[in-house]
Chains A and B, each alone.
Chain A
């Protein structure tokens, strides 16, 4: 590490912590064993700021700030677990569950799903918003992988890993609002994609059962993400 990096001190949930000047609140919190929930953030990819679960309170700032994209400042006072945040996080998770068809009992990722875990961690035990029950399909045209829109939470981890790490940019987003969907190439069947390298990184970063390997049955799809920080680090070193 170069000598010119400045160190900042701040408090997170009343604990004094030190940080490098360009670190985000989320990075520093995790280094210090303070868990801030998040779904779109993943170590090794650019931050997205879309899941809104890592919102934290900072003294003196009226708005809530996303921990994954807010850089630390000297003497910042961060609070990650207030009653208000807990309630808003629960509401946000309920909105996730109401959006598409998250039926855990028949999902390949049952028991290995970050959305499911998050519900447990935040104590979300029921959804009091009406379910929207959209009519969505599954793309099983690819020889090894499948994409189930019913389980997708639009975290865009797959899009980012495909673009930033694999460099293929096979996956992207179409439409907007409640109609947004993940697509392959120009909204073709995944099986017809000429850009997909079959690397499978998207499958392993996907937090839910939206992307999975074919042949896996209920609860059998577990994901391996250890490769990502390593690959990202290797790239940094190369530069």
Chain B
């Protein structure tokens, strides 16, 4: 594609969007789809025709609008009004009022703290474009960043921008993206690969899924820019098979991009070629670990191997391979388009930019949020999240899933960044955030995550394979009121063994939920062990076993 053609398509589509003074965007990401938003969309299309407004009003599907719990969500006239909980009964009124005042009873006030405290970078297009339309994406300056990098920047310049932006990997580890790109660029190999990690196995996390469902082109564009920077010609998106809608939209997006010469041979008539293929995971959490993911793509059993060598040097089929998370790639084009300083200007000293979280648990507004780094947990829980449901008392925030920890009330004013979360015994993780109230038992929470690690351990190394099983047994005994203080001591000892001797991150961090709950909620463990009670009333205490002496 030449620059003129490129601009023409974008302009034509921008004009087309303008030709419709009114538009209705219905969320068609999985959260709203599960609440039958597609029926609402059909009804709206029918009603627009019926009221003969189809010449001025466009109905389209769009990506995640945010407050998923109150779906189906509908956005009117590019965000002029947001309707929540829309049913087919509301449709005639919505269409009738499209060029008048919004339907009051459905409106989510735009100044609600849910939106006021957010900042959208990775999710910039979510809810504004139709994820199944390339033209929509082009109208939003899509692929402009790729075009500009290919025609005006050298690979090293691209890497410099990434380094200066301060972007860190969003898959959990927080490794500086620019540094990783530069390592892969320097690595010597006949062929190089770019892999997008969309395995997203943390229980309760749905950031990557939402991004792929809402804006697949921006992830592809980010991958292509990365491929140009590191010198790769083949890319893979490793996505879990449980995400059928995301897979469908990604497939569609790849096909569209290939047809328009935005992927494939000689992209935009430059010497640069880059193909992207999809590889489906079968839902093993450990396959999100980068070396296991590589083994899985190669067709082997998905088990990790010791690093070094890192994939940057020795990855897919032994070639240098860049592996980044979906959200990491989604941040690339905004950075290229707006410059490194724009991104580095958001966030804290060591954690730049924004972070997407899947907000869940006992709060009023659950959903997908994107906040600047450095925001306090209190703002997330009480302003964006709207506080605890049913007037209950806050107990803890769990971040980082099975590798993270539970953060208690006294840390609520702490800024959300990589270092602070680590200091509080948790991790940033990939973005799962579960808010718990007084009705949650922390022993039970630790047991839940240990059960997860036990069943998801690949079994390659003995500390994780046997250790997680042992720890789960001990936690089960504690929760039943059948353990002694000696077993608590064993538990702490096992935490130490796992942390230092396990092969991969799964085993090394499996102890975190236990360690952090023991650290902040030791009294709950003691209550189960010595007083044989569960303070939150969650665990079933069983009568004491008869002991033979």
Cβ-based interface call for B541 (8 A)? no
The answer to whether B459 and A178 have CB atoms under 8 Å apart is: yes
Instruction: Give the chain A neighbours of B470 by CB distance below 8 A.
Output: 95, 98, 129-130, 132
Interface string of A45-65 (1 = CB under 8 A from B): 000111110010000000111
> What is the CB-to-nearest-CB distance from A21 to chain B, in angstroms, rounded to a whole number?
14
Interface string of B64-105 (1 = CB under 8 A from A): 000000000000000000000000000000000000000000
Interface status of B466 (Cβ within 8 A of chain A): yes
Q: Does A180 have its Cβ within 8 Å of any Cβ on chain B?
A: yes
Chain A residues with CB below 8 A from B500, complex form = 63-64, 88
Q: B8 near A: Cβ within 8 Å?
A: no
A99 CB-CB contact with B under 8 Å: yes
Instruction: Find chain B residues with CB under 8 A from A104 CB.
Output: none
A176 interfacial by beta-carbon distance below 8 Å: yes
Does A177 touch B at the CB level, under 8 Å?
yes
Chain A residues, Cβ within 8 Å of B467: 95
Let me know if B501 and A49 touch, CB within 8 A.
no
Say yes or no: is B15 at the interface (Cβ < 8 Å to chain A): no
A140 close to chain B: CB less than 8 A: no
Chain A: interface residue count, which band? 20 to 34
**Interface: A125 (CB within 8 A):** no
| A238 in the interface (beta carbon within 8 A) | no
Knowing A88-B500, A95-B470, A176-B456 touch, does A66 contact B465 (C-beta < 8 A)?
Answer: no
Whole-angstrom distance from the CB of A46 to the nearest CB of chain B? 10
Which residues of B265-309 have CB atoms within 8 Å of chain A's CB atoms? 284, 286, 301, 305-306, 308
Per-residue A-contact encoding for B461-489, CB less than 8 Å = 1, 0 else: 11101111110010000000000000000
Give Cα distance in the complex from A49 to B284, angstroms: 21
Tell me, yes or no, whether B135 is within 8 Å of chain A by CB. Answer: no
Indicate whether B457 reaches chain A with its CB closer than 8 angstroms: yes
Contact A154-B469, Cβ < 8 Å, known A176-B457, A177-B456: no
Question: Which residues of B lie under 8 Å from residue A96 when comparing CB positions?
Answer: 462, 466
Contact between A92 and B284, CB atoms less than 8 A apart: no
Contact A178 B460 (CB under 8 A): no
Chain B residue nearest to A153 in the complex (CB):
B462
Q: Assign chain B's interface to a size class.
A: 20 to 34
Contact A91 B497, beta carbon cutoff 8 Å? yes
- Interchain CB contact under 8 A, A178 and B461: no
Is A173 on the interface with B (CB-CB < 8 A)?
yes
Which residues of A31-82 have CB atoms within 8 Å of chain B's CB atoms? 48-52, 55, 63-66, 69-70
Query: Does the CB pair A129–B490 fall under 8 Å?
Result: yes
A64 to B503: give the CA distance in the assembly, Å.
Answer: 10
User: B469 contacts which of A51, A69, A132 (Cβ < 8 Å)?
Assistant: A132
- 1/0 per residue A163-179: CB within 8 Å of B? 00000000001011111
Query: Quick one: which of A125-147 are within 8 Å of B by CB?
Result: 128-130, 132
CA distance A184 to B14 in the complex (A): 62
Give A163 to B308 CA distance when docked, in angstroms. Answer: 25
| Residues in B neighbouring A153, C-beta threshold 8 A | 462
Query: Which A residues lie within 8 Å of B502 (CB)?
Result: 52
B301→A173 contact, CB < 8 A: yes
Query: In the complex, which residues of chain A have a beta carbon less than 8 angstroms from the beta carbon of B458?
Result: 176-177, 180
Also in contact, A50 and B503, with CB within 8 A (given A69-B306, A92-B463, A92-B497): yes
The contact sample of 7 A-B pairs, CB cut-off 8 A, is A50-B461, A55-B501, A91-B497, A176-B284, A176-B458, A177-B459, A177-B468
